[in-house]
Structure 1
Amino acid sequence: MDMHTQVPENLDFLQRFERLSEQLPGTLYQCRLSPDGELSFPLVSAGMQKMFGIDAGEVMRDPGQALSRVHPDDIDALWRSIHRSALKLAVWRHEFRYCHPQGGIRWVHGHATPQRERDGSVLWHGFCEDITEHKRSQLALMESERRYRFIVEHVSDLIIMMDADGICRFVSPSVSQVLGYAAEELESQALVTLLPPDDAPRVQRLLHEAACRGEVLRLEVRVRHANGHYIWLETSCSPYVSPLNRRYEWLLAVARDITDRKRRDMRLHELSTTDSLTGALNRAAFMGCLESSLEAADHTNARLSVVLFDIDHFKATNDSWGHAAGDLVLACLGEVCRTTLRAKDIFGRIGGEEFALILNGQSLQEALVLAERLRSKFEQVRVEFHGQWLSFTVSFGIAERRRDESMDALLHRADMGLYAAKRLGRNRVQQALH
């Protein structure tokens, strides 16, 4: 092939190259680094004008036209990446900012493959594309993640992510302040183990039902602190249901420590239901407990006994020594009851000096034994009042509930037993006569 034939073919190749490169979203180029460190561009496609705002011919004649517009903060890193690629003949990939002639900063991604030439130069064949929009989105996402991470890391509430199996996949650093654990101690752990055994099944059921419905669940739960005690958390649980398969995959829980508020609420409840002098339930609270106990006994056919008792000649004590002395006697009676009764026995004050017990699961005979033990203790107690020792006795009436007996009927029979104890001389235990 002679020179006259080769020139037209080269021109035709370049024209076809230009037409092809015009369809690309970036710029095709060749870049050469000479042994003395001089950078040149033997070939640049027409996309240079659109992308960089500089004519391709100008760049091939004067490479400084393009290099001078690389962002000042990025130029050193760009040169280092070029020299690394040249030294190792490794594929060159780099992102940098470019100051466009028409104003504004563009982000550019370059990719090129190097080869060593006979004179020691390195020639790259590469492609550059404008990634400004992608980079802005990426930076915006990074900034958004940075803001959200800042919020999560500094919020005082506890933030937890759990999978569908209840395994903790993320917990905010505030867990150390709220529960005393380091975040890594709880990650990959089943959080249900932190709930009281009696509460765990109920909480799991509520979470499962809410997740199946895709509803937010708000509840108050007790959770074990790292020190072993339990605290109260007010929790909002939001399930994530996949739009693809409609299956529950994640649960986001945001919790706040409400232990102090809960204690105040319980104290207020205690004040509203408890007699402060004796520690017994007040009449309304006691009657509510009796009604609930009777309903429970109906379902389980369990035995239940009621004991009514009052202090003998209490009015005479008040008349002789004053109400302050009477209050001391009442307080002493309450102390004896609290230290003698079982945890499940229910103790109430239903009148001035009148008291009652609900003994769930206790027969008449068992109630008689307990009442006699209380009577004996009361008889032995001495109350010191201004250098004087006061004593008192108590009379008891007992009735075991009959099948389907109403609350009023049961109380009436126990009251008749108390009346009989009074009539027979006081300081005695008397069961209902009918």
Structure 2
Amino acid sequence: MLQFMDFEKSLVNLEHLANSVPGALYQLERSPDGQLKFNYVSQGVEAIFGCSAESLANDVTLLSEIIHPDDLQSVLSSMHNSARYQYLWVKEYRVIKNGRVSWIYGHAVTSQQADGSTLWNGQMLDITERKMLELKVEENQRNLMLAERVAGLGHWQLDLETGQSQWSDTMYNLHGLDKSRVTPSLALTLERTHPEDRQAVTDAINAVKQSGARDVEHRIMLGDGEIRWLRQSGIYRIDEAGREIIFGTTQNITDYKELELKLRETGGNDEHTGFYNRRLMLQSLQRRFSLYQAHSEHQYYVMVVRVANNAETLKAVSKIVRQNIQDYDTPGCLGKGIIVVLMSTLSAEQNKNCLQATRQLLEQHGIEHKIALESAQITDLRFDDVLLRALN
């Protein structure tokens, strides 16, 4: 009698346990002729499917009304294959519960019985919240990829220890490479980079570790002999594992660069400083500001120096400015003793250091001057807004 009572007690305890776990526990049987029936379903199935355990146990055909019609055949096929090959059944699918769509995760251990029937002992969980987040992430990723293709912009990640990279799909297009045939790496990037620009790329990578952010313009060589100009902007970080990582973006600036070079060839330099003249400098400021408006991660810094408007002073100041700016900074003379430098680096600290060094040398040479560094703000509508703040 005691043993019988213990057995009944254990059944009660198991039922209580089954109804306490997340989701629903079940045993589903498929007979040799393909008929399905639930031998057991815990009470949690009501929250999963919107129907009681009793009704589902009495009428398994309710599944065809509960499972989303677009997923029903896929669920049945996965169960058929699970039974045929006797492997663990795992499936994510949609159900229609109380007129609303929910996502369910099901998994079960498959076992074949002596009479040829198949049993699935498993669990069902409502994963709607997680699935909606996943789908949102996927949608954002698709939108990002579309935006990258439209803008000719790619993003990447470089592990400085291994030299291995991760590229977005647009990066392969920018480099004229087949994603299925190459493995992104620093070595691959340098291989595709024009020989005359490889040192600049290497210097930029070394500099980003010091400044925290850096960008560089360089040429790459495509397989058909085409030369393409790219602008790469990177930010240095140490990840949770302690690895040194550079996160960056790459944009095709070939059209801008070809126009810039053409303007240089047609007399775009100021006679006293050798910098861009007013026309070419204003065009450069406008083009870079348009890039900033489209992609705010490409920060916009200008350094402005105002000195006496005479040839001797301008020549002396141009030497001092050239001595302190980066190779890829763009200096220009706007006339009336105003020299503007469009800074290439994204690092505010490095740009401030450049400002301080320039100011110090101007003071040492006894050159009367005013100097300022300004960055674009989200409220700026034109590049003139940044320039006017610096001048004032």
- Same fold per TM (> 0.5)? yes
Query: Which residue number corresponds to residue 252 of structure 1?
Result: 248
* Equivalent runs, 1:210-249 vs 2, <5 Å: 210-215=208-213, 217-224=214-221, 233=230, 235-244=231-240, 248-249=244-245
User: Residue 156 of structure 1: CA displacement?
Assistant: 2.9
Alpha-carbon contact 2:109-2:121 (below 8 Å) kept: yes
Aligned counterpart in structure 2 of residue 34 of structure 1, from 31, 34, 41: 31
Q: Indicate whether 1:141 and 2:128 are aligned.
A: no
* Equivalent runs, 1:392-431 vs 2, <5 Å: none
Counterparts of 2:66 and 2:234 in 1: how far apart (Å)? 51
Q: Indicate whether 1:266 and 2:261 are aligned.
A: no
Counterparts of 2:44 and 2:146 in 1: how far apart (Å)? 42
Alpha-carbon contact 2:152-2:170 (below 8 Å) kept: no
Q: Indicate whether 1:57 and 2:54 are aligned.
A: yes
1:14-57 deviation line (CA, Å, top 9, x unaligned): 32122112221111111111223221111111111222222112
Counterparts of 1:84 and 1:231 in 2: how far apart (Å)? 51
1:81-125 deviation line (CA, Å, top 9, x unaligned): 22222223322222221111x331111121122333343322221
Alpha-carbon contact 1:180-1:227 (below 8 Å) kept: no
1:285-304 deviation line (CA, Å, top 9, x unaligned): 9x969x99xxxxxxxxxxxx
Q: What's the TM-score, normalizing by structure 1?
A: 0.53
The structure whose RCO (Cα within 8 Å, separation 6+) is larger is 2
Alpha-carbon contact 2:27-2:122 (below 8 Å) kept: yes
1:328-364 deviation line (CA, Å, top 9, x unaligned): xxxxxxxxxxxxxxxxxxxxxxxxxxxxxxxxxxxxx
Query: Which residue number corresponds to residue 110 of structure 2?
Result: 114
Structure showing greater Rg: 1
Query: Which residue number corresponds to residue 364 of structure 1?
Result: none
Aligned counterpart in structure 1 of residue 80 of structure 2, from 74, 79, 83: 83
Alpha-carbon contact 2:175-2:192 (below 8 Å) kept: no
User: CA 1:78/1:169 → structure 2, altered by over 3 Å: closer, same or farther?
Assistant: closer
User: CA 1:264/1:57 → structure 2, altered by over 3 Å: closer, same or farther?
Assistant: same
Counterparts of 2:64 and 2:21 in 1: how far apart (Å)? 22
Aligned counterpart in structure 1 of residue 67 of structure 2, from 62, 66, 70: 70
User: CA 1:171/1:103 → structure 2, altered by over 3 Å: closer, same or farther?
Assistant: closer
Alpha-carbon contact 1:212-1:248 (below 8 Å) kept: no
Q: What's the TM-score, normalizing by structure 2?
A: 0.58
Q: Which amino acid in the other structure matches residue 264 of structure 1? A: K
Identical residues among aligned pairs (%)? 25
Counterparts of 1:182 and 1:126 in 2: how far apart (Å)? 43
* Equivalent runs, 1:185-200 vs 2, <5 Å: 187-188=184-185, 189-193=187-191, 200=198
Query: Which residue number corresponds to residue 89 of structure 2?
Result: 92
Alpha-carbon contact 2:49-2:66 (below 8 Å) kept: no
User: CA 1:21/1:139 → structure 2, altered by over 3 Å: closer, same or farther?
Assistant: same
Counterparts of 1:169 and 1:259 in 2: how far apart (Å)? 27
Counterparts of 1:186 and 1:47 in 2: how far apart (Å)? 48
Greater CA drift, 239-248 or 37-46: 239-248
User: CA 1:164/1:223 → structure 2, altered by over 3 Å: closer, same or farther?
Assistant: same
After superposition, the CA RMSD in angstroms is 3.8
1:147-171 deviation line (CA, Å, top 9, x unaligned): 2223334433565654437666537
Q: Which amino acid in the other structure matches residue 13 of structure 2? A: R
Query: Which residue number corresponds to residue 120 of structure 2?
Result: 124
User: Residue 272 of structure 1: CA displacement?
Assistant: 5.4
- Return 5+ residue gaps in structure 2 as ranges: 273-310, 320-392
User: Residue 75 of structure 1: CA displacement?
Assistant: 1.3
Tell me the matched-pair count.
274
User: Residue 239 of structure 1: CA displacement?
Assistant: 1.9
- Return 5+ residue gaps in structure 1 as ranges: 275-283, 293-434
User: CA 1:162/1:77 → structure 2, altered by over 3 Å: closer, same or farther?
Assistant: same
Q: Which amino acid in the other structure matches residue 44 of structure 2? A: G
Alpha-carbon contact 2:48-2:124 (below 8 Å) kept: no
Q: Which amino acid in the other structure matches residue 107 of structure 1? A: W
**1:74 aligned counterpart, secondary structure:** helix
**1:244 aligned counterpart, secondary structure:** coil
* Equivalent runs, 1:216-365 vs 2, <5 Å: 217-224=214-221, 233=230, 235-244=231-240, 248-255=244-251, 256-257=253-254, 258-269=256-267, 273=271
User: Residue 198 of structure 1: CA displacement?
Assistant: 5.8
1:344-396 deviation line (CA, Å, top 9, x unaligned): xxxxxxxxxxxxxxxxxxxxxxxxxxxxxxxxxxxxxxxxxxxxxxxxxxxxx
